Amino acid sequence: MLRACVGIVSLLFVSCSPDLVRRSSMPAKAPEALEAVRILGARHGEMAGLAGPEGVCLDLRGRVYVADTGNDRIVVFSSQGDLLYEFGHRGWREGEFDAPIDVAVVSDLVFVVDWGNERIQTFGRDGDPRGSVSIPDERGPWRPAGLVLGSAGALYFSDGERDRVVGLNRAGQIAFEIGGFGHWHGQLDDPRGVEVTDDQRLYVADSGNGRVEIFDALGAWESSLVGGDLVMPWDVCADGMGNLFVSDAGSDRVCVYGADGEFLFSVGTEGLRSGGLRQPTGIAFDGTEFIYVADKGNDRIQVFRIVYKARNK
């Protein structure tokens, strides 16, 4: 199994990404509703045939990358839901997967959390294997669960084996380690998805504790998102204005929070109809007005349009 360390230096361009510039300049508005508009990879009627997808992300061209967990592959759609290509199959060798559960894309690199093989693999956009991410001087077991790429070129990932989040800087060195098993502020129990906002705050879906933990750029604990009666938060994403969207696999909902952390509303009830959710896991913002939700229990990706409140004149 290839264990080549992928240089995080190659991610330097992220800090000047046009997508990040565009998102940070958006005027501040709060969401008032999520409107279901499209389904990708449905169990019936579409060729993709997803099976329990857990991760989703988008690149700057609007292409949608799905960690199709049950089929041990990555599937790529257009923003309109057309199947473009796929790569990977079950196995332990380079380029193979055992239950991939998260995916992130930056420039020409695709990062995949290969859960069953306890590694983060990297690929070119066409699915060509490029190696694996390594942790310097790491000797004990680790099991990556969620990952995100920060605007300063850093890589953050949650580690379910040690109930922590690790941040690697551009050079691939450990910038910080946060968490550790527990239920107090700053401790974690089975952390899953992670998100970094434009102000460099780190949000962690602390699934075992039923909350989202918030850390500053240096890894110091700041506060928790606890409103909305979260049961098993799985992933979190932010729009360009700091509003937060949390997929709660334990209650079949997406919970929405304002930029100040105030709970606003939730959407979703268990079911197959458009807008219904069953064990939602990964969640991603497209940089404009849509969020993509991995509706794991329904074997599909649902797309919601964010309806923002009109600004006061």
Domain boundaries, the chain: 8-308
Q: How far is the CA of 203 from the CAs of 93, 147, 182, in angstroms?
A: 32, 11, 17
- Reply yes or no on whether the pLDDT at 233 is more than 80: yes
Helix (H, G, I), strand (E, B) or coil at 16: helix
Residue among 197, 212, 196, 214 at smallest CA distance from 26: 197
AA identity, residue 281? T
Order of strands across the sheet that contains 64-68: 55-58, 64-68, 73-77, 83-87
Q: What is the pLDDT of residue 310?
A: 72
Q: How does pLDDT run across 70-124, given as a tens digit for each residue?
A: 999 999 999 888 899 999 999 999 999 999 999 999 888 999 999 999 999 999 9
How large is the average pLDDT for residues 172-178? 88
Q: How far is the CA of 269 from the CAs of 11, 57, 263, 278, 301, in angstroms?
A: 39, 23, 18, 8, 15
How large is the average pLDDT for residues 45-67? 87
Q: What is the pTM of this model?
A: 0.88
Q: How does pLDDT run across 257-280, given as a tens digit for each residue?
A: 999 999 999 998 767 788 889 999
Highest mean pLDDT, choosing among 136-150, 164-178, 188-202, 265-279: 188-202
Q: What is the pLDDT of residue 285?
A: 96
Comparing 16-20, 31-35, 119-123, 222-226, which segment has the lowest mean pLDDT?
Answer: 16-20
How large is the average pLDDT for residues 61-75? 96
Q: What is the pLDDT of residue 19?
A: 38
Q: What is the pLDDT of residue 190?
A: 97
Any idea which residue has 């360009």 for tokens?
240
In our burial notation (b when 16+ CB lie closer than 10 A, e otherwise), range 256-285 reads: bbbeebebbebbbeeebeeebbbbbbbbbb
What CATH class does 8-308 carry? mainly beta
